Structure 1
């Protein structure tokens, strides 16, 4: 029962993160640029990052159907989110104009990484499905 409840929670988290990645990143860049956009003026960076995260979001939505069959994608999302947040954290402290990210995308990506990392099964449940 606990295994099924845990998988249900992981599915919900994958759907929420997937929807936010697909539909939420661009509006956040527009509404709160100091916390979500890293370049000012003309830059191709915002469209690139929106494209990458929207694509990841679509795959997370597909993974929500069968999370145990998609563990590598989920763990990629966990670790890439934490690494990305760590790099942005350092850059936010190095450049005063980016301090707003300490309240925006940095904690958001740490939250995503921790949330999915905590909810993703390890050990017996994961081995039973994958192995």
Structure 2
């Protein structure tokens, strides 16, 4: 895929992933995670904070489509966040293996998001944004 095609599809991907972070993480937490996973009691502060962080990142990704060149750092942060979180879950699961892999859906989703965004990242020098809007963050 050439850089022109990547630049064309990157805003679409950012919007879809942003919407997933806003609306999809909570259902995934409720439906895809195994029974008993999470903080006890459910919806304790840490779980809510995690949801708020992902929702905020989702909003920022959607807003970043206004000026991709100015928000490259945010996009790379999203890529590395998903790689690190997915790898941490994988290592924790391998270290504490007591049965079937509990976080397999989460690990796959996080690696998919990181790989998909990474594959759409053009060379930074090729992003020409005539919009002089300041960076989102």
Please, what TM-score do these two structures have when normalized by structure 1?
Answer: 0.83
1:41 aligns with 2:40: yes
For these two proteins, the number of residue pairs brought into alignment is: 126
Could you list the per-position Cα deviations for residues 76-101 of structure 1 after superposition, in whole angstroms to 9, with x for gaps in the alignment? Answer: 11111101111111011122367221
Between Structure 1 and Structure 2, which shows a larger proportion of helix residues?
A: 1
Could you list the per-position Cα deviations for residues 30-53 of structure 1 after superposition, in whole angstroms to 9, with x for gaps in the alignment? Answer: 122229x84253143321211110
1:119 aligns with 2:120: yes
Please list every run of 5 or more consecutive structure 2 residues that lacks an aligned counterpart in the other structure: 130-137
1:81 aligns with 2:71: no
Please list every run of 5 or more consecutive structure 1 residues that lacks an aligned counterpart in the other structure: none
Q: Would you say the 8 A contact 1:22–1:54 is kept in 2? A: yes
1:1-131 to structure 2, matched below 5 A, reads 3-34=3-34, 38-42=37-41, 43-95=44-96, 96=98, 99-102=101-104, 104-126=105-127
Distance in 2 (alpha carbons) for counterparts of 1:99 and 1:40: 18
Distance in 2 (alpha carbons) for counterparts of 1:50 and 1:56: 10
Distance in 1 (alpha carbons) for counterparts of 2:54 and 2:75: 14
Larger RCO, structures 1/2 (Cα 8 Å, 6+ apart): 2
RMSD: 2.4
Could you list the per-position Cα deviations for residues 52-86 of structure 1 after superposition, in whole angstroms to 9, with x for gaps in the alignment? Answer: 10010000000122212210000111111101111
4+ long deviations beyond 6 Å: none
Q: Would you say the 8 A contact 1:38–1:98 is kept in 2? A: no
Distance in 2 (alpha carbons) for counterparts of 1:33 and 1:41: 14
